[in-house]
Amino acid sequence: MKVLIIEDEHKIANAIKKGLEQESFSVDVAFDGELGFDLASSEDYDAIVLDLMLPKLNGLELCRRLRQEENVHTPILMLTAKGQLEDRVNGLNAGADDYLAKPFAFTELLARIRALSRRPKQLLNDVLVCRNLTCNTRDFEVRRAGKKINLSKKEFALLEYFLRYQGKVLTKNQIINAVWNYDSDILPNTVEVYVGYLRNKIDRPFKNKEPLIQTVRGFGYKMG
């Protein structure tokens, strides 16, 4: 387990580092937001502990940029000042996965980090795989049996959702909520149309292979 701590208060950062190392974690520390951002976007961590108030780049902005610009989905535990509900909401909106109010007990922090790092890897990975299809969510490249497949933005979002939940039956309403905005007027029929587009690209040209998208009659669809 490798953890990155981004915290400018040396005392807190060092205490967390020491505690985690005693639990056999490997730990990197960044004392400002810029270094933290560089490390978080270039190294592979199982979890990030991120302070909100940081010099050079604050925790919210750092989190938002990691998620949106770098497409880094490492679980983030955000540290906030006690009772600042707004900070927590902002943190979760910016892409943090959990938060912990200061001051906190180390055992609480440890439990939260363990819980975050246990989340299914498929939800965090950049490259999603189903049999001989690969989907790279960093550069939006999709290949099946080595052959490159061009998808529209919506088709890609649909494929990504299927891949992240492969093996599970997804209803049309679940698909609408995940791929389209809640407020858009999408009919279940539209899902069928888009699943059709996607099948035309990822399944039909590979006729000798078993289709990746299965229809589960009366329920929805399943991938894999």
Residue type, 210: E
DSSP string, 38-57: HHHHHS--SEEEEESS-SSS
Considering the complex, state which of residue 53 and residue 178 has its C-beta at the smaller distance from Ca ion.
Answer: 53
C-alpha 80/C-alpha 120 separation (Å) is 26
CB of 48 to Ca ion, least distance (A): 15
- Answer yes or no whether residue 8 interacts with Ca ion by CB under 5 A: yes
C-alpha 59/C-alpha 115 separation (Å) is 21
Contact region for Ca ion (CB under 5 A) — 4-12, 99-107, 180-188, 198-206?
A: 4-12
Residue nearest to Ca ion (CB): 53
Neighbours of 148 (CB within 10 A): 8
Residues 42-71 that bind Ca ion (CB under 5 A): 51, 53
Tokens standing for 209? 């292979």
* Dihedral sign computed on CA atoms, order 94, 32, 80, 39: positive
Number of residues that bind Ca ion (CB under 5 A): 3
CB of 52 to Ca ion, least distance (A): 7
CB of 51 to Ca ion, least distance (A): 4
Tokens standing for 119? 């989340």
Contact region for Ca ion (CB under 5 A) — 2-10, 27-35, 146-154, 172-180?
A: 2-10
Contact region for Ca ion (CB under 5 A) — 6-14, 65-73, 183-191, 197-205?
A: 6-14
Binding footprint of Ca ion on the chain (CB under 5 A): 8, 51, 53
